[in-house]
């Protein structure tokens, strides 16, 4: 890839040290987009016990559906961030939000496991494409001083979306059945109008585009450029995505089944527990992001991850509803808290010129391996129990500790790079 001149690299800083109306609007829209895509992803987790009973299928079947649909969704993770490097962050954000909203409604018409697999897989192409594009948009527009807090708050849309889904399930599932959760998922399409009216293109992206035009450089797909130019960063980002997602996908996909059936709490109690856990988790994202901005990710992230890894194993041995609630609450707080500032870190490793392509590629590689988690847990659950699979999820999460302590370089409060050849 051609490098830009030092004159272009020495341009003015884009991010400020304070929030503006524009950066707050971008953050709010991306956070809501994240919340609504998590709403869709949460539906299957909540209705898994109902699907197993209604269709008479084994737990492993649901695990396989979740894993295969996530593999299909890798198309979106790879393609949409790359398109964001070519055509801009804003139009791609609109496309992904509109896509997953419409396809979520379609999933409500599934009549069996095969149709559920097909509809869910199509939905995930746009669903999983929105996540990295939103992260990139926020990282490029948030003030440098509070970037980790902004990214933590962005992913804080996860518990909001999860809580919204679980509370909605408590009301609509007893009245209209599990399909109504999918049909209500069409509503986020309205967010597209706000995006089109309230969000301009990322200033960093526009700056790089103008510089490339002046230099006579053509924008085109350069898939392997991040690997050639930033091999260490690509490897670091890929491992971080894998360790985070393997644990979280396995945990979130099977926790409703673990609580409702394996621990005999029932659907209503499980939905109530998860709603409370996710409400508390909203604050965890901001807390971890804020602490990371103050002290750096190197020690803050391990401070959340290490105790979570221990509690993840402990949870499998608990039986009383009160102990399951309190340990699960603390565990979920620690896991989710590290997620926003931890995953958002990867967007800070690469320059604006190839940020979408690099993040999309690393996300794809890490997710491809991590997507096997629901199937692996499902196989273990079919042969033994979900509790027997929790130590495996704990091991994956624990490996984040040495990654942040010894491998990942600190980028907190450092200005983002814009052009290939720059380093944060």
Question: Would you state the pLDDT for residue 8?
Answer: 45
For residue 161, give every residue at least 6 positions away whose Cβ sits within 8 Å of its Cβ, in sequence order, or none: 34, 35, 36, 37, 38, 39, 42
Question: Would you state the pLDDT for residue 65?
Answer: 83
| pLDDT per residue as tens digits for the range 347-392 | 888 888 888 888 888 988 888 888 788 888 888 888 888 888 899 9
Q: Provide the pLDDT confidence category of residue 9 given band limits of 50, 70 and 90.
A: very low
Question: Would you state the pLDDT for residue 24?
Answer: 87
Q: What is the mean pLDDT of the chain?
A: 82
Determine contact, residues 83/75, Cβ cutoff 8 Å.
no
Share of the chain above pLDDT 90, in %: 17
Mean pLDDT of 176-203: 77
Question: Would you state the pLDDT for residue 292?
Answer: 92
220 has a pLDDT exceeding 60? no
Question: Would you state the pLDDT for residue 6?
Answer: 41
Question: Would you state the pLDDT for residue 196?
Answer: 66
Three-state secondary-structure class, residue 339: helix
Q: Provide the pLDDT confidence category of residue 66 given band limits of 50, 70 and 90.
A: confident
Distance (Å, rounded) from C-alpha 37 to C-alpha 311? 28
Question: Would you state the pLDDT for residue 384?
Answer: 84
Which DSSP symbol is given to 258?
I
253 has a pLDDT exceeding 90? no
Mean pLDDT of 210-232: 69
Q: What are the DSSP calls for 353-421, one per residue?
A: GGHHHHHHHHHHHHHHHHTTHHHHHHHHHHHS-SGGGHHHHHHHHHTHHHIIIIISPP-TTPPPP-SBT
Mean pLDDT of 267-275: 81
Mean pLDDT of 336-343: 84
395 has a pLDDT exceeding 80? yes
Which DSSP symbol is given to 259?
I
Question: Would you state the pLDDT for residue 257?
Answer: 80
Mean pLDDT of 158-165: 80
215 has a pLDDT exceeding 70? no
Question: Would you state the pLDDT for residue 235?
Answer: 94
Handedness of CA 303, 247, 80, 184 (dihedral sign): negative
Q: Provide the pLDDT confidence category of residue 5 given band limits of 50, 70 and 90.
A: very low
User: Greater confidence, 35 or 400?
Assistant: 400
12 has a pLDDT exceeding 70? no
13 has a pLDDT exceeding 50? no
405 has a pLDDT exceeding 90? yes
Question: Would you state the pLDDT for residue 340?
Answer: 77
Lowest-confidence pick of 164-178, 229-243, 309-323, 329-343: 164-178
Lowest-confidence pick of 63-72, 189-198, 292-301, 359-368: 189-198
Mean pLDDT of 410-419: 79
| pLDDT per residue as tens digits for the range 179-191 | 888 888 777 777 7
Mean pLDDT of 141-161: 84
Mean pLDDT of 324-337: 92
Look up the pTM and report it.
0.79
CA 16 to each of CA 24, 88, 148, 257, 368: distance values in angstroms, whole numbers, following the listed order: 12, 21, 14, 45, 36
| pLDDT per residue as tens digits for the range 70-80 | 788 888 888 88
HSE-CB of 371 using CA atoms within 13 angstroms: 22
Burial of 28 (0-12, 13-18, 19+ CB in 10 A): middle
Distance (Å, rounded) from C-alpha 424 to C-alpha 416? 6
């Amino acid at each position: 890839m051609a490098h830009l001149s030092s004159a272009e690299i020495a341009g003015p800083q884009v991010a400020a040290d304070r929030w503006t109306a524009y950066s707050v609007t971008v953050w709010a829209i991306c956070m809501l987009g994240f919340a609504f895509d998590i709403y869709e992803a949460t539906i299957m987790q909540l209705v898994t016990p109902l699907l197993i009973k209604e269709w008479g299928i084994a737990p492993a079947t649901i695990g396989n559906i979740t894993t295969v649909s996530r593999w299909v969704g890798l198309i979106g993770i790879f393609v949409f961030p790359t398109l964001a490097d070519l055509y801009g962050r804003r139009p791609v954000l609109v496309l992904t939000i509109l896509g997953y909203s419409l396809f979520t409604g379609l999933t409500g018409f599934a009549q069996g496991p095969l149709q559920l697999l097909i509809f869910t897989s199509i939905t995930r192409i746009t669903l999983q494409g929105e996540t990295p594009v939103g992260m990139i948009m926020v990282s490029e527009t948030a003030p440098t001083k509070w970037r980790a807090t902004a990214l933590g708050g962005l992913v804080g849309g996860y518990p909001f979306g999860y809580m919204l889904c679980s509370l909605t399930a408590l009301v609509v599932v007893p009245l209209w059945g599990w399909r109504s959760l999918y049909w209500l998922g069409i509503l986020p399409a309205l967010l597209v109008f706000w995006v089109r009216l309230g969000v301009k293109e990322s200033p960093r992206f526009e700056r790089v585009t103008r510089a490339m035009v002046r230099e006579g450089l053509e924008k085109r797909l350069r898939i392997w450029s991040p690997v050639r130019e930033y091999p260490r960063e690509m490897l670091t980002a890929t491992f971080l995505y894998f360790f985070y997602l393997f644990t979280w996908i396995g945990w979130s996909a099977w926790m409703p089944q673990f609580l409702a059936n394996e621990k005999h709490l029932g659907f209503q109690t499980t939905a109530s527990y998860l709603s409370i856990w996710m409400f508390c988790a909203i604050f965890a994202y901001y807390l971890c992001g804020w602490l990371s901005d103050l002290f750096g990710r190197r020690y803050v992230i391990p401070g959340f991850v290490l105790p979570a890894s221990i509690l993840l194993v402990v949870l499998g041995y608990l039986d009383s509803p009160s102990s399951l609630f309190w340990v699960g609450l603390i565990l979920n707080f620690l896991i989710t808290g590290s997620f926003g500032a931890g995953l958002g870190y990867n967007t800070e490793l690469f320059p604006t010129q190839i940020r979408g392509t690099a993040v999309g590629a690393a996300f794809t590689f890490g997710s491809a391996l991590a997507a096997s988690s629901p199937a692996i847990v499902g196989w273990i659950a079919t042969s033994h129990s979900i509790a027997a699979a929790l130590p495996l999820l704990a091991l994956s999460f624990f490996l984040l500790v040495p990654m942040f302590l010894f491998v990942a370089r600190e980028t907190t409060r450092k200005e983002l790079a814009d052009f290939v050849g720059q380093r944060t």
